[in-house]
Structure 1
Amino acid sequence: MRAHPAGPLHGNITPPTAAGAPPEELGALDPHVWPRSAERIGGELHLGGLPVTELARTHGTPLFVLDEGDFRSRAGDFADAFDGADVHYASKAFLCGQVARWIADDGLHLDACSGNELSLALAAGFPAERIALHGNNKSLVELQLAVDAGIGHVVVDSFDEIDRLVPLGAARVAAGGSPVPVLIRATVGIEAHTHEFIATAHEDQKFGFSLSTGDALAAARRVVSEPGLHLAGLHSHIGSQIFDTAGFEAAAHRIVGLLGAVREATGQTLEELNLGGGFGIAYLSEDDPVSPSDIAAKLRTVIASECAELGLPVPRLAVEPGRAIAGPGTVTLYEIGTIKPVRLGASGAPGTPLVRNYVSVDGGMSDNIRTALYDASYTCVLANRSSDAPPALCRVVGKHCESGDILVRDLWLPSDVQPGDLLAVAATGAYCWSMASNYNYLLKPPVVAVREGAATEIVRRQTLSDVFALDAVLADLPAPSPAPSQPAPEHAVGVRS
């Protein structure tokens, strides 16, 4: 993480170098990074068969554009690669009613991390038996909802949670129902090669029962002893945005060892093993994610080998791809408002200043907090047209009153970008809309699904009246209407507020 939120110059460290050498073709769409339907026609970016200028005029900016074909084909890739296993879609990456129905129709499972995510899925008609409930601090109300709905698994995370769940399971059995199916989340002690905040299987963090201290085995013993609970299997998750399969293989080795220890301690052979996921995606051209088929082949081989060594039957597997389904297929469109050249010092050539253009757009950290929160890297392109202008070093920033409000830290854009142009930021489908806020009272953008030339708004744009409705003083007052805007310049293609 950087030393100072206002940037390296304020932290007395050397200014960062430019984003490498300018690419041969500014605005090129790397197919590893951009949605599968992305193409340029007449210089303009098209998504799902639609030009981005039409999408911006119709729906405004900022705007999340979700390529439905990309989303569903990636879900299918994982379902095919893990045929015979359960593939769980990550609600926390991005969830709305339409996405829940796509996932249900495509035969996937779903993991919810809160009672409200669970409620949304159930309201959308998602089959309860294909839902797993996660979370390190599930309330009694959330657990009651899960038990009453008859969800597939509760992934227990602490002894306190087992204590809360026991009477609910006992009551269900007393009423003639079946015991509540439970997975024990084990912390296997694997250091995933990812950001500290999204590595989840090392010892010093909030999730799961430690394998090394014996807590995971003790939790299994406790669940087995309760007639209202059914220990269906084990769960392991080592982190998020991971490219190296070695961590998954090491975790699989340890979690199968726990299967053997549970059988020895309780006499029960567990039938299910959820290996988690957190598979990485390409945010930049240099990122190299592993394909679903490669992941599946390696994990199946490791599990089969480890189970054979311990004389265990191979359990039914489950995986949680995380951002790998939702992330790559969504692009965020912004309209440029202000461009400010900032001199950074000498570039190396005598008398030649190094200049970075701060390109401000009409969104920012309220719709993508990941750059500020995780130091995440994104790329973007000039979307409404092509340009032969020479490259300029740029930093794409938002409109919030924070110097850390950065979307793309360093990249090359055409030097003739101007107010009214559209920028498209790639791979924003996971953890952007779902982590959005109303900071500075900006409103959450809509989400539009595109496919084969048709656009469908699946999440509408938030309005100021929506926000006022939560304010005890303003709830009954109408939100002020904006004054008529001045005519936009001829080059403007977005929808101005």
Structure 2
Amino acid sequence: MQFHGTAKVNQKGHLEIGSVDTIKLAEEFGTPLYVYDVALIRERARSFKETFETLGVNAQVAYASKAFSTVAMVQLAAEEGLSLDVVSGGELYTALAAGFPAGKIHFHGNNKSLQELDMAIEAGIGCVVVDNFDELEMLVELCSSTGKSVNVLLRVTPGIEAHTHDYILTGQEDSKFGFGLENGQADKALLEAMNSGSVRLLGLHCHIGSQIFETTGFLLAARKIYAKLNEWKKLYGFEPKVLNLGGGFGIRYTEEDNPIPASRYVVAIIEEVREQADQYGMVVPEIWIEPGRSLVGDAGTTLYRTGSRKEVPDIRQYLAVDGGMSDNIRPALYQAKYEAVLAGRVLAKPEETVAIAGKCCESGDMLIWDIPLPKAEKADILAVFCTGAYGYSMANNYNRIPRPAVVFVENGEAKLVVKRETFEDMVRLDLPLKERVKSK
């Protein structure tokens, strides 16, 4: 088992994260429980930032908060000098409630409402990443009516899709996001933005995929973008001040994954942008990237308490836990794979192979299929690794199951940063069809 960050086995044979015993965490805060290794998040953030600084490149490293958005996480991003990528009014509100510097917030999304855009302009955020013509029109109208202006990037689809080790050149540019780079949409959007008199066009943005383990896709995207920028320079005299190449940097979920260090992505991107800018006689722009999963994914561990068992003779042993697709829907949605240990007996030899079943009333609520573990007793603590990205963010109340608490651990201290949801919380916004008659 390969541990991440500060995770290790202590003298009791228990899993420890941030110098805090996970068995004690489960006892104090209950289960399911999201546990975040703050030191690992800080290490990842600094790795991205320091590579840009070492190579002398003006840059912004924006945390893609869709991966895990809470007030405490946003404040941690601010402590590390990150910018922030938000994709909804709710994420923007969270950022502002956390006291995050508005000028370092970038607002993404393919269907921003008029109210969300107004909220962003009123807050004075740093940049809106414009995704379509409707949005561009709304922004121009808002700026004209309020007398304000806003920085924008145009999101373009360069016809490249990258996931893990694969990349695909999609000439059709079939995506719900952005302006097509090769079908004339990006050209039209550029002219509308340049001639609007209301928005300040900083440059371009693209995002090519997720859980990417190689640099090839980013380099291909940069080359296609610069070929178009060369046309625009000749036709309109346009050069970008900012080029945002997105995120999608991969992490290790299981032994099948082999990600590269954060610095290698950054170095490759910088070298390619410098080469392309030099080739076309342009100034090297400020480079922005948007790591999300790669900052928080393997910093998160979910603790569960084991419950019932079921044996299907000659087929499979099921071991149920007190959570499931209500706190981690990724296995059901994407067939995502995870590794796990019994937190109280990490070094014990496996005695059985079990399938970890969630408690939701869905046959597809399976967290892990066929994992070797020591013989689990009822109420053992199971620690599932690398759940820091899109676990809490996608948590839900299916079957009216309350969402778990979130704890940050660092230097031997545990801090509760999200309270456990209660049954009362879940019905707080419900309105009755009729008032309940109280029994005497």
TM-score, with normalisation over the residues of structure 2?
Answer: 0.94
The C-alpha deviation readout for 1:156-201, integer Å capped at 9, x for no partner, is: 00111111111112234x3xx4x311100000111213599xx999
The C-alpha deviation readout for 1:243-285, integer Å capped at 9, x for no partner, is: 1211111011112223223323322222100010110100012
The C-alpha deviation readout for 1:127-171, integer Å capped at 9, x for no partner, is: 111010000000000000111111111000011111111111223
Cα distance in 2 between the residues matched to 1:87 and 1:380: 31
What SS does structure 2 have at the residue aligned with 1:339?
A: strand
Q: Match for residue 248 of structure 1?
A: 218
Tell me the amino acid that sits aligned with residue 320 of structure 1. Answer: E
Match of 2:330 among 351, 370, 378: 370
Match of 1:360 among 320, 323, 336: 320
Match of 2:386 among 410, 427, 434: 427
Q: Match for residue 17 of structure 1?
A: none
Structure 2 CA distance for partners of 1:56 and 1:154, relative to 1, 3 Å:
same
Q: How far off is 1:391 after superposition? A: 3.2
Superposed CA RMSD: 2.0
Q: Match for residue 396 of structure 1?
A: 356
Cα distance in 1 between the residues matched to 2:435 and 2:66: 32
Cα distance in 1 between the residues matched to 2:108 and 2:191: 20
Task: Name structure 2 gaps, 5 residues minimum.
Answer: none
Q: Match for residue 98 of structure 1?
A: 72
Q: Which moved more, 1:107-116 or 1:286-295?
A: 286-295
Q: Residue 462 in 1 paired to residue 436 in 2?
A: no
Q: Match for residue 63 of structure 1?
A: 33
Q: How far off is 1:474 after superposition? A: 8.8
Cα distance in 1 between the residues matched to 2:244 and 2:115: 25
Q: Match for residue 138 of structure 2?
A: 164
Cα distance in 2 between the residues matched to 1:387 and 1:277: 36
The equivalences for 1:32-431 within 5 A come to 34-83=4-53, 84-172=58-146, 174=147, 177=148, 179-194=149-164, 203-343=173-313, 353=314, 355-386=315-346, 388-414=348-374, 416-431=375-390
Q: Match for residue 398 of structure 2?
A: 439
Do the aligned partners of 2:165 and 2:212 also contact (CA within 8 Å) in 1? no
Tell me the amino acid that sits aligned with residue 288 of structure 2. Answer: A
Cα distance in 1 between the residues matched to 2:35 and 2:262: 24
Q: How far off is 1:384 after superposition? A: 1.3
Structure 2 CA distance for partners of 1:180 and 1:41, relative to 1, 3 Å:
same
Structure 2 CA distance for partners of 1:389 and 1:229, relative to 1, 3 Å:
closer
What SS does structure 1 have at the residue aligned with 2:122?
A: helix
Structure 2 CA distance for partners of 1:190 and 1:62, relative to 1, 3 Å:
same
Cα distance in 2 between the residues matched to 1:220 and 1:455: 49
Q: Percent identity?
A: 46
Q: Which moved more, 1:258-267 or 1:69-78?
A: 258-267
Q: Match for residue 487 of structure 1?
A: none
Do the aligned partners of 2:165 and 2:213 also contact (CA within 8 Å) in 1? no
Structure 2 CA distance for partners of 1:76 and 1:387, relative to 1, 3 Å:
closer
Q: Which moved more, 1:158-167 or 1:254-263?
A: 254-263
Structure 2 CA distance for partners of 1:51 and 1:380, relative to 1, 3 Å:
same
Cα distance in 2 between the residues matched to 1:330 and 1:456: 14
Q: How many residues align?
A: 430
What SS does structure 1 have at the residue aligned with 2:344?
A: coil
Do the aligned partners of 1:200 and 1:207 also contact (CA within 8 Å) in 2? no
Q: How far off is 1:453 after superposition? A: 1.3
Cα distance in 2 between the residues matched to 1:248 and 1:122: 31
Do the aligned partners of 1:276 and 1:319 also contact (CA within 8 Å) in 2? yes
Cα distance in 2 between the residues matched to 1:474 and 1:428: 39
What SS does structure 2 have at the residue aligned with 1:435?
A: coil
Cα distance in 2 between the residues matched to 1:115 and 1:463: 25
Do the aligned partners of 1:187 and 1:202 also contact (CA within 8 Å) in 2? no
Q: How far off is 1:207 after superposition? A: 0.6
Structure 2 CA distance for partners of 1:201 and 1:453, relative to 1, 3 Å:
farther
What SS does structure 1 have at the residue aligned with 2:210?
A: coil
Tell me the amino acid that sits aligned with residue 203 of structure 1. Answer: E
TM-score, with normalisation over the residues of structure 1?
Answer: 0.83
Q: How far off is 1:390 after superposition? A: 4.4
Do the aligned partners of 1:200 and 1:239 also contact (CA within 8 Å) in 2? no
